[in-house]
């Protein structure tokens, strides 16, 4: 009805039911406020605006009452400490468990907010990706537009970057908490640098972990599927990051693409699979044959890039040198199956170690573990007693 082809899209409808404006992406707040005020004035003057105070029933996703997790967005496995970190995004908290799913600690009160302090007092707001550096866990606190750091020994949380307000357009380079961020969605670390999928401004940013200096690493800020030198290339709401140590692999969600970003002074952005903002589907194959649909997560494991093909409800694998994609798990329809024929509901995050792939099965409110050798999937018993 509204011809929406991009996510997110905002449609402005006047009191007579006519569509008077459509904008895609983030950062349109000031323009929308101006347009809405103009419409209010116009329709108040013409008598077409209701003024009886009848309230609207506004509603957003409400966490389910009977599940331990709510819309978990991302998961991160610690290969050394046998820990699993879960972004319990709908409950605004971090769940720390072992690899079998036994809960060991929780950071966050469960109420949305931006508060530092001990695990029991800290607050997050619909956070997503995480990256582990020693005994510190970095968190992309998406709707707080901030980066948080958990001290896993002291069990404390502190804000290391972001003002708590969304940057308008592209953020400006700077240091730590003086820099306004724009919807950070995922994180990966390499050689003392934290790379940030800044979905709101269509860029990848980098933060030096020693100095907390932040700067753009890849992406011009224009939403387009354009390859080339890192800062001239176009990205499209990048929402997932992984690395093999030589390059970044990016779930370029709005273009339904997987991109490769190389390091070094002459680094480039290259599209591995994906054809553009309006080319999506569910098709395995090689290069231009491949179609994905809004992938949100990637993980590097065993020389292969695994993909959470979110809107196709599938897990796929990509062989970067061949640009070949094949389905590993999932039916292509929402479901809750496990075992040899698993089904998912918009999986959003992946993390892999030692032949096991952990899956944030977001809309099923669960974390799954896939045994890649056996080809089976089990559901972790997070929050279950006994």
For the chain, the domains span: 9-46, 73-218, 222-386
- Strand order, beta sheet including 156-161: 117-118, 156-161, 146-151, 136-141, 130-133
112 pLDDT more than 90: yes
Residues in contact with 13: Cβ distance below 8 Å, sequence separation at least 6, in sequence order: 19, 20
The mean pLDDT value of the chain amounts to 93
3 pLDDT more than 70: no
Domain 73-218 -> CATH class: mainly beta
Alpha carbons 184 and 204: distance in angstroms, whole number: 9
- Strand order, beta sheet including 376-379: 349-353, 356-361, 366-371, 376-379
Alpha carbons 305 and 317: distance in angstroms, whole number: 6
Alpha carbons 87 and 298: distance in angstroms, whole number: 15
pLDDT category at 355 given cuts 50, 70, 90 is: very high
Alpha carbons 236 and 254: distance in angstroms, whole number: 5
Cα distances from 213 to residues 63, 173, 216, in angstroms, run 36, 8, 10
Single out the residue of 292, 337, 287 nearest to residue 310, CA to CA.
292
222-386 under CATH 2.120.10.30, yes or no: yes
Continuous H helices in the chain: 29-46
pLDDT at 6: 64
pLDDT tens-place string over residues 174-198 = 999 999 999 999 999 999 999 999 9
pLDDT at 59: 56
R_g (Cα) of the chain, nearest Å = 21
284 pLDDT more than 60: yes
Q: Which helix (H) or strand (E) holds 320?
A: none
28 or 220, which is more confident?
Answer: 220
Q: Are 367 and 101 in contact (CB under 8 A)?
A: yes
31 pLDDT more than 70: yes
pLDDT category at 55 given cuts 50, 70, 90 is: low
Three-state SS at 22? strand
158 or 56, which is more confident?
Answer: 158
Mean pLDDT over 34-60 rounds to 74
Q: Please tell me the least confidently modeled range out of 8-17, 264-273, 344-353, 375-384.
A: 8-17
pLDDT at 386: 45
39 pLDDT more than 90: no
pTM of the model: 0.88
208 or 16, which is more confident?
Answer: 208
């Amino acid at each position: 009805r509204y011809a929406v082809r991009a996510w997110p899209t905002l449609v402005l409808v006047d009191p007579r039911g006519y569509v008077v404006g459509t904008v895609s992406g983030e950062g349109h707040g000031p323009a929308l406020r101006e347009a809405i005020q103009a419409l209010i004035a116009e329709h108040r003057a013409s008598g077409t605006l209701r003024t009886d105070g009848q309230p609207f029933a506004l509603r957003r996703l409400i966490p389910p009452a009977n599940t331990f997790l709510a819309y978990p967005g991302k998961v991160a496995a610690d290969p050394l400490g046998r820990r699993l970190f879960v972004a319990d995004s709908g409950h605004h908290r971090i769940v720390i468990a072992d690899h079998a799913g036994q809960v060991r600690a929780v950071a966050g009160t469960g109420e949305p907010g931006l508060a530092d302090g001990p695990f029991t007092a800290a607050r997050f707001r619909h956070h997503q990706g995480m990256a582990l550096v020693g005994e510190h866990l970095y968190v992309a606190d998406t709707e707080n537009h901030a980066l948080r750091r958990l001290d896993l020994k002291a069990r404390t949380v502190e804000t290391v970057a972001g003002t708590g307000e969304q940057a308008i357009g592209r953020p400006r380079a700077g240091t730590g908490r003086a820099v306004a961020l724009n919807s950070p969605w995922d994180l990966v670390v390499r050689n003392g640098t934290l790379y940030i999928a800044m979905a709101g401004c269509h860029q990848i940013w980098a933060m030096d972990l020693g100095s907390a200096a932040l700067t753009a690493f890849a992406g011009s800020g224009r939403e387009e599927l354009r390859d080339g030198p890192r800062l001239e290339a176009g990205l499209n709401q990048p929402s997932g990051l992984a690395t093999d140590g030589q390059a970044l692999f990016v779930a370029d969600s709005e273009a339904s693409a997987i991109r490769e970003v190389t390091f070094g002074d002459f680094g480039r952005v290259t599209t591995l699979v994906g054809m553009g903002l309006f080319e999506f589907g569910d098709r395995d194959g090689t290069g231009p044959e491949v179609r994905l649909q809004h992938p949100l997560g990637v993980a590097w494991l065993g020389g292969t890039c695994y993909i959470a093909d979110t809107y196709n409800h599938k897990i796929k694998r990509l062989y970067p040198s061949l640009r070949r994609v094949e389905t590993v798990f999932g039916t292509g329809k929402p479901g809750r199956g496990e075992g040899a024929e698993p089904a998912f509901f918009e999986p959003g995050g992946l993390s892999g170690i030692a032949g096991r792939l952990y899956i944030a099965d977001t809309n099923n409110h669960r974390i799954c573990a896939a045994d890649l050798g056996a080809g089976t999937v089990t559901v972790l018993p997070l929050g279950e007693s006994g």
